[in-house]
Structure 1
């Protein structure tokens, strides 16, 4: 971007803040948002997260497939995929990712909770208990 190409009409360099109207500010924000693009990977991750909020984990996994292939070790990809696997009852896949995340970052308590809950759903309560107890103890502090 160069010059005044992205500025709304009537807004120039050197203007004082009290000379700019609310409409000019809104136009500037809107024009900037239209020009702003995020990488495809970021958009796919956002779309997957949106599908999870809409309770459609299988659709989320469709968005995540290329990310899992191309960025399998990215923590956000792993977490979103593990949540989608958990919510779609693909528990062994959820377990594998949750274990990988906890191993990489033992202080990631969301991943640890997901690991504990996945173990519970797999009827491995004894293993789950240790992970969930650790989270509860830290939350109580």
Structure 2
């Protein structure tokens, strides 16, 4: 019994090293981000839907550069709230899986000087995917201008 208790204790402690600090953006800070992840099988049936505005990784300076570029190529609306102007930028990316795997996060990255740079990551419990499944991620950014 004592050995079982020790094993359970060690097992429970081992998961504390995998907990993630989360950052939530807010409109008061000038930038709000949310992401919706929609997993569908090859028949188009909804398998999973996740949404979050909390992120485990976020590179704010690189993200602002990304948003500046995206705003220059899009026709993104500007809204006024309490005499402040905000730009709403929404982008959707779809990925079709070609092999069975498990995905545990939704990632937004950019190619900067030939190097893949992580801009934001939403870590979640994950879900298994099979070949032919598609993951559509819709990112919404609201920034003060």
TM-score after normalising by structure 2: 0.21
**Which of 1 and 2 has greater Rg?**
1
| Higher relative contact order (Cα pairs below 8 Å, separated by 6+ residues) | 2
The structure carrying a bigger helix percent of its residues is 1
Structure-1-length-normalised TM-score: 0.22
Identify, as 1 or 2, the structure richer in strand.
2
